[in-house]
Amino acid sequence: MKLTTLCYIEKDGKYLMLHRTKKEHDVNHEKWIGVGGKFEPDEMPEECLLREVKEETGLTLTQYRFRGILTFIADGWESEYIHLYTATAFEGELTECDEGSLEWVPKERIFSLPIWEGDKIFLKLLQEDAGFFSLKLSYQGDALVESKLLQESEIHT
């Protein structure tokens, strides 16, 4: 199981979105997603988040929030636990990304972009400022075949 982070950076009613176009063998090829990536050995989620955001955008996050865990399952790809964050403050200047193009996209326009069907579920939760959640998304090709959502009130510790 692969461990990753995913962050939606917010500014002026927009999210910073990455149009994944540059890697050939990429489960996200031609999709629009947030920024983030794989954990390095011994990293905690926040260390991975800060490193990946800096590498992909040139930005240093100064205010961010852990929003949920995504379990992403897709035929032909290693399953993934995605640590989902939003960020509302940062420093630095946006740089070019070697995985695709970065663009500030109005939140209301995101649902019209080519995104994963399951992303619509968690993006809606983010926009509603729902509490912490766990979301399992299973795909066959690009088709979402199963989703299971547990919200904060349903998660027992």
If we measure between CA atoms, which residue out of 3, 5, 21 comes closest to residue 103? 21
Position 23 pLDDT exceeds 80: no
For 150, phi then psi, to 5°, come to -120, 120
Reported as a single tens digit per residue, the pLDDT across 53-79 is: 999 999 999 999 999 999 999 888 889
pLDDT, residue 76, reads 84
What is the percent of the chain where pLDDT is above 70? 92
Q: Which residue has the higher pLDDT, 75 or 147?
A: 147
